[in-house]
Structure 1
Amino acid sequence: MFDVLVYLYENYWRPDACPDHEQLWRKLSAVGFETDDIQEALSWLDGLSPTSIPSEALPIAPQAAQAHSVRVYLPQEQAALGEECIGFIHFLENTGGLTSDLRERVIDRALAAVGFEPGPLALDDLKIIILMVFWSLGQEPESLVLDELFVTPEDRLIH
């Protein structure tokens, strides 16, 4: 599924540039993606639209969350996301890379992705989810966030 999402991110500048599901399915199939991966990715994308997450389903409604709010993770969320992903989300939020609204969208889509793969979610998969959340809103993350999403720790240059 994540390979399909990366393909969409790299080949379509914005979600409105994507063809409808039927055409997209044919194109992804022609490129060589497996049917199961395409189905999972398209189902996951359906939940990515801004109106697909009812506010009452969120632990903290985005419009009610304050700039300095604290997110408490349920035991199921902790098991699905794992310490590394929760720490990364917390890091991005503390550095201003994620607002509380974006955090909740990331968590929602991460939990949906864990439904397709056994948890806890890998950090690299979470990074793809974060990119797709920004992509779905037609936004590009700040350069420092992009650096965190694309550069691995072992590839960083220490000055």
Structure 2
Amino acid sequence: MFDILMYLFENYIHSDSEVVVDHDELTDELARAGFHRQEIQKALAWLERLADLQETEAKTYLNVTPVASMRVYTEIECSRLDTQCRGFLTYLENLGVLDFSTREMVVDRVMELETSRFSLDDLKWVVLMVLFNLPGREAAYDKMEGLLFEEPEGPLH
């Protein structure tokens, strides 16, 4: 399912190509690209839920000022989001790329992925997908895009 999401993001959303709105046509295209129909349906449902979350979160947290708090992850969340991923989410919050509502959207979308392996690179793509359509988050999206494609300079120790 994650491969399908990546394919859609890279080929339609991120590339500024015209998005195919018709689910049947999109499903057929993805099937021709080699994806299984059941996985395609799961990926499209994941994207629809993301759109629902974005709409709900935008209305719910529009004028909310968060208080200082710490996110405690459940055991199931920790099994999907390792220490490196959780640390990266905190780092993104400290940078201002994520706030408490966008972080929760990211965690929600990660938990809905059906994958046995989930890496920091996968998390970065999920963050990009979440930020992409959120009004007023263009600067955060740009920062995250820079972090995703950033090449480390100099020797790593």
Pair 1:111–1:53, CA change in 2 (3 A): farther
- SS of residue in 2 equivalent to 1:66: coil
What do residues 103-143 of structure 1 show as CA deviations (whole Å, max 9, x unaligned)?
01000001111xx1125x21121112111112243654443
Percent same amino acid among aligned pairs?
36
Task: Measure, in 1, the Cα distance between the counterparts of 2:65 and 2:112.
Answer: 22
Task: Measure, in 2, the Cα distance between the counterparts of 1:54 and 1:33.
Answer: 30
Task: Measure, in 2, the Cα distance between the counterparts of 1:103 and 1:22.
Answer: 32
1:27 Cα deviation from its structure 2 partner? 1.6
What do residues 73-121 of structure 1 show as CA deviations (whole Å, max 9, x unaligned)?
12221122111111111110111111211101000001111xx1125x2
Q: Which residue of 2 aligns with 1:48?
A: 50
> Any conservation in 1 of the 2:66–2:100 contact (CA below 8 Å)?
yes
Counterpart of 2:152, as a letter, is: R
Asked if 1:22 is matched to 2:38, the reply is no
- SS of residue in 2 equivalent to 1:48: helix
Pair 1:51–1:97, CA change in 2 (3 A): closer
Matching of residues 11-90 of structure 1 within 5 Å: 11-13=11-13, 17-51=19-53, 66=66, 68-90=68-90
Aligned length: 148
Q: Which residue of 2 aligns with 1:9?
A: 9
Q: CA RMSD in A?
A: 3.0
Which 5+ residue runs of structure 2 have no aligned equivalent?
Answer: none
Which 5+ residue runs of structure 1 have no aligned equivalent?
Answer: 56-60
Question: Whose relative contact order is higher, 1 or 2, with alpha carbons under 8 Å and at least 6 apart?
Answer: 1
Task: Measure, in 2, the Cα distance between the counterparts of 1:136 and 1:142.
Answer: 9
> Any conservation in 1 of the 2:2–2:115 contact (CA below 8 Å)?
no
Q: Which residue of 1 aligns with 2:125?
A: 128
Asked if 1:156 is matched to 2:155, the reply is no
More divergent stretch after superposition (94-103 vs 42-51): 42-51
Q: Which residue of 1 aligns with 2:142?
A: 143
> Any conservation in 1 of the 2:53–2:105 contact (CA below 8 Å)?
no
1:68 Cα deviation from its structure 2 partner? 3.2
Task: Measure, in 2, the Cα distance between the counterparts of 1:62 and 1:104.
Answer: 12
Asked if 1:97 is matched to 2:97, the reply is yes
